[in-house]
Structure 1
Amino acid sequence: MVNFNGRLLEKGTAFLDESNRGLRYGDALFETIRVVNSKIFFWEPHYLRLMASMRIMRLPIPMHFTMEQLGEEILQTLKANSLESKAARVRLTVFRDQGGYYTPTSTDVSYIIEASALETPFYTSSQQPYEVELFKDHYLDAGLLSTIKSSNKLVNILAGVFASENGYQNCLLLNQHKNVIEASNGNLFLIKNNTIKTPPITQGCLNGVLRKQLIEIIKKTPEFELEEEPISPFELQKADEMFITNVISGITSVTKYRKKQYNNEVAKTLLGRLNAHVRLL
């Protein structure tokens, strides 16, 4: 079942047409959310990011778009898909209603909520090889629009295609200053000795929800020092560890970049603390 503006519809039901502005112009935002046993992980940060992103994109915010109402719609969608007692991935998409060309004429928005099952309720550590490479064909701008989860994700898509075609598990994206800012599907962290480094939002990386949670965990961990500083490609081969974060997979350790092999001891420590953190939500 799919939730369209509060109506539960069978999957495959035709409820959008060719005039949809998300399809035509990418005039849409989305949040990807992890839910376990009807507990919405990090719901308040997700909601606040959505509201901030809607303001950046000048999308009107309806009165009924409260955290409580949207949270209830998510839970109703899970129940309709028999996922209320399981681990699930939820996608909430918000788009401007049809009308106009580049300049919209509508002052209304619509939303879609989708849900699918996840394999495990906990964040886990994979033992599989995970090799990455730089994606240099296109760059992300170090600007505000790059920090939001809009449906304009062409660079991420092309980086994913490049990785698939060349036998990599992921690609790292660059901004126009040739600094490394993120992976195609998550935020980036490097570890050297006891210093954990991640690019600041001003570099154009996604304002990731799990990124924020992990930063707070690191700040409360005395054995590590956090730096939010630009990362040059030269630093990748000097690091002891590299990992990627997002709210669905948690922490994904990179095992190889070119000739550099990485360990994952710090990542496993942080993964344990992240799982302890979500149990308290």
Structure 2
Amino acid sequence: MVNFNGTIISSSQSFLDHGNRGLRYGDSLFETIKVVNGKINFWEPHYLRLMASMRILRMEIPMNFTMEFLSSEISDLLAANELQSSPARVRITVFRNAGGLYTPETGEISYIIESHPLDDPFYTIDQNAYEIELFKDHFTGSGLLSTLKTNNRLVNILAGVYARENGYDSCLLLNEKKEVVEAISGNLFLVKGNTIKTPPLESGALNGIMRKQLIEVIGKTDEFQLEEKPVSPFELQKADEMFITNVITGIIPVSKYRKKEYGSEVSKKLIGRLNALLRLS
């Protein structure tokens, strides 16, 4: 079952047409959210990011698009899919209504909410090997639009195909300045000594919710120093540790990049603090 504009319908039912602007032009945004036993993790940051992104794309925000309204819409869908008492992955997709060519006829929007079961309610560290490589065939832009969760993800898609064809678990994306920006499906953090570094939004890094949470967690500790600065590819093999973050998996330690192998001690410390933050919230 999915929620389309407030109506719960079968996921097998046709409800989109050929004029959909998300399909035609990528005129669309999305939020991927983790929900555990009906509780939406980091709901306020997700909601505020969605609203800010809609404003940047000049979409009209409906008057009823409040935190309470969307939370209720998510809850209704989870109940319809019998996921209200288990961990779930929820995706909210917002797209501008049909009409126009590149220039839209309206700023009004429609939305879809989907939900799928997840295995683990907590964030855990996967001890399996996780090898990455640089993706250099295409670049992501360093502008504001790259920081948004839009449906324009061709570079990520092609990087995913490259990773699969060459036996890597993920790839790192570069911007047009040859700065390392992020991974295919998450933000990047490097650890060197007691310094943890992540690419800044100015490099085109996604304004990730988990990125934001970890920056706050790291900022509250005296053990580590955080840097938001451009990352050169030459820094990757000099790092002691490297990890990727997103709201579904939490922290993914990278075990190998080319000839360099990495540990995961800092990742383990941060995942514990992240779970503690969720218990307190």
TM-score bracket, shorter-length normalisation: over 0.9
SS at match of 2:31: strand
Question: In 1, Cα distance between the equivalents of 2:108 and 2:252?
Answer: 38
Amino acid at match of 1:10: S
Cα deviation, residue 107, structure 1:
3.1
Question: In 2, Cα distance between the equivalents of 1:80 and 1:94?
Answer: 21
Question: In 1, Cα distance between the equivalents of 2:260 and 2:180?
Answer: 16
Amino acid at match of 1:211: R
Q: Hey, what does 2:275 align to over in structure 1?
A: 275
Counterparts of 1:1-281 in structure 2 under 5 Å? 1-281=1-281
Cα deviation, residue 39, structure 1:
0.4
Amino acid at match of 1:266: V
Amino acid at match of 1:254: V
Cα deviation, residue 106, structure 1:
2.2
Kept in 1: contact 2:33–2:40 (CA 8 A): yes
Question: In 1, Cα distance between the equivalents of 2:278 and 2:13?
Answer: 35
Cα deviation, residue 280, structure 1:
1.4
Question: In 2, Cα distance between the equivalents of 1:201 and 1:234?
Answer: 20
SS at match of 1:252: strand
Q: Which runs of 5+ in 1 are unaligned?
A: none
Question: In 2, Cα distance between the equivalents of 1:77 and 1:258?
Answer: 44
Q: Which runs of 5+ in 2 are unaligned?
A: none
Kept in 1: contact 2:22–2:151 (CA 8 A): yes
Cα deviation, residue 128, structure 1:
0.7
SS at match of 1:77: helix
Kept in 1: contact 2:187–2:206 (CA 8 A): yes
Amino acid at match of 1:244: I
Question: In 2, Cα distance between the equivalents of 1:105 and 1:216?
Answer: 41
String of CA shifts for 1:229-276, please: whole Å, max 9, x gaps: 110000000000000000000000000000000000000000011011
SS at match of 2:238: coil
Kept in 1: contact 2:243–2:254 (CA 8 A): yes
Amino acid at match of 2:280: L
Question: In 2, Cα distance between the equivalents of 1:23 and 1:102?
Answer: 12
**TM-score under structure 1 normalisation?**
0.99
Amino acid at match of 1:210: M
Amino acid at match of 1:189: F
Question: In 2, Cα distance between the equivalents of 1:179 and 1:103?
Answer: 32
Corresponding pairs, count: 281
